[in-house]
Amino acid sequence: MSGVKTLGQFIIEKQADFPYAKGELSRLLRDLAIAAKIVNREVNKAGLMDIIGDTEDINVQGETQKKLDVYANEQFISALKSGGECCIVVSEENDDYIYIDSEISRNAKYIVAIDPLDGSSNIDVNVAVGTVFSIYRRKSTEGKATLRDALQKGTEQVAAGYIVYGASTMLVYTTGVGVNGFTLDPSIGEFCLSHPQMKIPKDGKIYSINEGNYKRFPEGVKKYIKYCQVEDDATNRPYTSRYIGSMVADLHRNIIKGGIFIYPTTAGSPRGKLRLVYECNPIAFIIEQAGGRATNGFSRILDTEVDSLHQRSAIFVGSENMVLLAEKFMSEYS
């Protein structure tokens, strides 16, 4: 066991970086990691349990909820309730925000926005899925925390992270001083530091986009895709196309190898498909902290005004130079 650093040890070591009361955020991250381990256990045996497939419910996005969407949502909410540090949870799977009204949460100072299971259509086919979360501090100082506390801009995040349930399970997070990645060692049930100070390469040769929607893309995106496909030795083209359909897994690969992930507006989704509060903002915070770039094709994701909990956004995210070039195509053609 020599040399192994667990997530719990790491968080305590790094508490000094954090400007607010030390223990609270650490406990919040601990609570999220506990729920992640429980979800991981269920994802791992999904094929053996009656947990793959759909429920009969439709979420606020108009998507049929998977059984595992509901299960993961319950696990994260319940861990946050029993931890006592969180006053509001915003989740993809709940129309409204959840106010945690309990004795131990009375003075809770944090708001958590979460996509409990990302890429859930992949669960039935044993392909990587994820979780994305974002943490804010409550701004109001009196009475109950309110919707306004839940609608803060991405720049106000104090921490964000994702879990990818893949060939191995990893938790990656930032508190605004770099990004660190931990791999779950199932034999000891602990996330262990495996990817310290993650940095995304400035350039890459992977582009990730659902090209099936090509005809519905803005002209700038069409032109950028064509650029990726042109043969040119000097710039290493053609690039490689890789699209899993779980944003977290696609992003995780691109952080490590270098690449760009695009989910643009389309003719059918004029504001984009992914959700700003619990998908785009946390991913943008992590990518920026890893040295990458995240915009909606024109402006920075983290500066976007937040009007509603399930607001959608286009996203262009990944290696800085690739995103800059895609933006150039957008400003020229779209």
Interaction site with Mn ion (CB under 5 A) = 63, 92, 115, 117-118
- Which one of ligand AHG, Mn ion, none is in contact with 28 (Cβ closer than 5 to 8 A by kind)? none
Contact status, residue 224 vs residue 325, Cβ threshold 8 Å: yes
CB of residue 249 to ligand AHG, shortest distance in Å = 8
210 labelled binding-site residue: yes
Residues that bind ligand AHG (CB under 6 A): 63, 92, 115, 118-120, 210, 245-247, 273
List the one residue out of 155, 126, 144, 105 whose CA is nearest residue 299.
Answer: 155
List the one residue out of 63, 161, 177, 74 whose CA is nearest residue 120.
Answer: 63
Cβ-based nearer residue to Mn ion, 62 or 143: 62
Cβ neighbors of 233 (< 8 A, separation 6 or more) are none
- Which one of ligand AHG, Mn ion, none is in contact with 82 (Cβ closer than 5 to 8 A by kind)? none
279 labelled binding-site residue: yes
Integer CA distances (angstroms), 155 to 210, 281, 284, 311, in order: 28, 8, 10, 16
CB of residue 72 to Mn ion, shortest distance in Å = 8
109 labelled binding-site residue: no
| Whole-angstrom distance, CA of residue 175 vs CA of residue 13 | 13
CB of residue 103 to ligand AHG, shortest distance in Å = 32
Angle subtended at Cα 182 by Cα 30 and Cα 185, rounded to the nearest 5 degrees:
90
- Which one of ligand AHG, Mn ion, none is in contact with 320 (Cβ closer than 5 to 8 A by kind)? none
| Whole-angstrom distance, CA of residue 232 vs CA of residue 226 | 12
118 labelled binding-site residue: yes
Integer CA distances (angstroms), 257 to 66, 199, 207, 289, in order: 31, 10, 11, 16
CB of residue 279 to Mn ion, shortest distance in Å = 5
- Which one of ligand AHG, Mn ion, none is in contact with 176 (Cβ closer than 5 to 8 A by kind)? none
63 labelled binding-site residue: no
Annotated binding site for substrate: 118-121, 210, 243, 273
